[in-house]
Amino acid sequence: MGATKERPKTVLFVCTANICRSPMAAALFNALAEERSLPHRAESAGVAALEGAGMAPYAREALAELGIRDEGHRAQQVSRELLERADLVLVMGPRHLREIERSFGSSRKVYTLRGFVGEADGEEIPDPYGFTAHAYRASLRQLLEYVEGVLERLREEESSSQ
């Protein structure tokens, strides 16, 4: 999973519609990786994407409260090409993992977000879609904790491989 100077390591975050959790996770990941000068980049997709849709308004607002701007996100369906291009694929819950395995086969680079950071991964990161701005903020706080864990694990893996 090593990044090179030519190509940063790519992490693909996957949720259902690709308008709430996965684009928020990708935006957090990219902001934190840039802030820490880490050679990583995130993208996002959905297993049932609302293709072409922008990020949910409350998701944009929650990110903006952290000083992270929506860079024109457009929802996209998870595809074989996206999965192959990614160095690591992190899904919001077990059902997303099952859907990817059903559609594309199993892969050693696909994990639940909770499982990748060492937590029991039986539960999904709650989907705030259709709920209040407060639910989106709560989801973003949870995602921030897990994304921090992902970045730490990636940093540790890079340090141990050098």
- Candidates 15, 41, 60, 114; catalytic one: 15
- Candidates 21, 41, 60, 114; catalytic one: 21
- The answer to whether 127 is a known catalytic residue is yes
Q: Are 52 and 23 in contact (CB under 8 A)?
A: no
Q: Are 73 and 54 in contact (CB under 8 A)?
A: yes
User: Which positions ≥6 away from 102 have C-beta within 8 Å?
Assistant: none
- The answer to whether 87 is a known catalytic residue is no
Structure token pair of residue 65: 């409260």
- Candidates 87, 121, 127, 153; catalytic one: 127
Q: Are 124 and 94 in contact (CB under 8 A)?
A: yes
- The answer to whether 141 is a known catalytic residue is no
Just list the catalytic residues.
15, 21, 127
